[in-house]
Amino acid sequence: MLTTPLLDQFLRLILKETNEWANEQVSRLSGVTDERVPDVWSFHVDDEDSPALMQALSEDRKIMLGELLRDPRDREQALNCIPLLLLRRNHEELLFPADDVVVEAGDEILLSGKSWVMKRMKWSLQNSHALRYVQTGEEQASGYIWQWLFGKKL
């Protein structure tokens, strides 16, 4: 809880839910972690944790949470994680937020899943080309030579 303060808030919220609801959520989580103990991490939608995401938002691009849950190596593959809690700047709490929730600057998102997923997700949060790929499927040439090559008709 020291390294992921949002986890404490999540645990307080789920205590208010029914056992049936909790069993459904545990089943969902087991489905992405192969019944291993999952890792838990969070990130802020800010310039430090997610600069590519902030740049996209400053360009008035709408980013859905589900787009951030795609693998930046193959966007057709979902990352093995589940968003547990999305906390808005206005303190609105979205427990197990849906994929179609629009991400906003200032959000804090708590996730759980396989240990390697956090690194892949960070790639999308910190690299504009990776973020555009998971969002649209477009692969952009990033270096001068690649831009020159792709700009020429072969």
Sequence-ordered list of residues with C-beta below 8 angstroms from that of 116, at least 6 positions apart, any chain? none
Number of residues assigned to the chain:
154
User: Residues 122, 51: contact at Cβ < 8 Å?
Assistant: no
Q: What domains can you pick out in the chain, each with its CATH number?
A: 6-151 (3.30.70.1450)
84: enclosing H helix or E strand: strand 81-87
Q: What are phi and psi of 61, to 5 degrees?
A: -85, 135
Question: What are the pLDDT digits (tens) for 20-68?
Answer: 998 888 888 877 777 677 889 999 999 999 999 999 999 999 999 999 9
Q: How confident is the model at residue 144 (pLDDT cuts 50, 70, 90)?
A: low
30: enclosing H helix or E strand: helix 19-33
Q: What is the structure's pLDDT at 143?
A: 56
Kindly report the average pLDDT of the chain as a whole number: 87
Q: CA nearest 113: which of 69, 72, 82?
A: 82
Report the percent of the chain where pLDDT is more than 90. Answer: 68
97 half-sphere exposure, CB direction, 13 A CA radius: 26
What is d(CA 2, CA 109) in angstroms, rounded to the nearest whole number? Answer: 16
Report the percent of the chain where pLDDT is more than 70. Answer: 88
What is d(CA 102, CA 152) in angstroms, rounded to the nearest whole number? Answer: 37
Q: CA nearest 65: which of 46, 48, 45, 47?
A: 45
Residue 92 clears pLDDT 90, i.e. is over it: yes
Q: What is the structure's pLDDT at 149?
A: 47
pTM for this prediction:
0.84
